[in-house]
Structure 1
């Protein structure tokens, strides 16, 4: 039987709540939107690039956002040492190289990275600051991470919408 990306029941975006509830709710909404754009597609469809010369794919977006979750929430905000599933010094863009990728495993990795990101943020104040890992050494707070992640997903969900429309004509939501 051919593996297909699982169907998803997206939780509606929040309209009322305290700041943390709204930030977490909107981030979850966008996480689920990405998965919704992939739902029902086969491995080959998930690996279908947008338009030449771009190699951007839905699976590449899933892999990329798994690593972004680990980078901002785990490595930066929580100070964890992270073994990235795709990134290497030799191939920093390996998340987008899906030629030999296993979509079922990549979706499991995405879900695991989201779970670990949630755990890394749990109990931390939105005002907690940290210095970015790497050469830039910029100072951020956890609130900024949530806002950035919502923006990151929203931007890539726009890409995902166009890629999905190219694959099978599905649009919206």
Structure 2
């Protein structure tokens, strides 16, 4: 995955716009981690929180897998970091490395892109077991944009605390 961010188009169809905003937010998270050591990436925000940049990358690997592969594609697979379906495990990045976390995240992003590209329309549905409801690919893409945007706000503060870097 490229760390280069490309601004979403100002005039485009719904699907192209959603895809572009999702990729923009994915690239933003990668950008926030750029140039940092594994130790910096594992640096936690403040006790008792285990939140770190590496934890966010691990969490977003889970989010990508859960929504695209498990919900939309209906794959019966465990989470990336927990075979007990415990989403909180991803936040413990204390023994993780950039290579491990980014490798898992980039793999899940590739799967997500493939699933989205192969879907006939944004109206394709999958079943969200946790909600007991069917959801559309459109909702999944919007949900991931929201999830990335929220966590990229956290990433802003984490990065500033590591080396003072601020900005988009």
- Do both proteins adopt the same fold according to a TM-score greater than 0.5, normalized to the shorter chain? yes
Higher helix share: 2
Q: 2:54 touches 2:93 (CA, 8 Å); kept in 1?
A: yes
Scaled by the length of structure 1, the TM-score of the pair is: 0.90
- 1:167 matched to 2:162? The reply is yes
The TM-score, its normalising length taken from structure 2, stands at 0.93
Give the aligned CA root-mean-square deviation in angstroms: 1.7
Q: What is the correspondence of 1:8-19 to structure 2 with a 5 Å cutoff? A: 8-19=3-14
Q: Which residue number corresponds to residue 105 of structure 2? A: 110
Q: Give the length in aligned residue pairs.
A: 167
Residue aligning to 2:21: 26
**Which stretch of structure 1 is more off in the superposition, 143-152 or 92-101?**
92-101
Pairwise mapping of residues 74-153 of structure 1 onto structure 2 (< 5 A)?
74-89=69-84, 91-124=86-119, 125-134=121-130, 136-153=131-148
- The separation in 2 between residues aligned to 1:161 and 1:92, in whole angstroms, is 22
Paired with 1:130 and 1:108, the residues of 2 have a C-alpha distance of 26
Provide the rounded CA distance (Å) in 2 between the counterparts of 1:123 and 1:9. Answer: 24
The list of structure 1 runs, each at least 4 consecutive aligned residues, that deviate by more than 4 angstroms after superposition, is none
Alpha-carbon distance in 1 for matches of 2:133, 2:124: 14
Deviation, 1:131, is 2.1
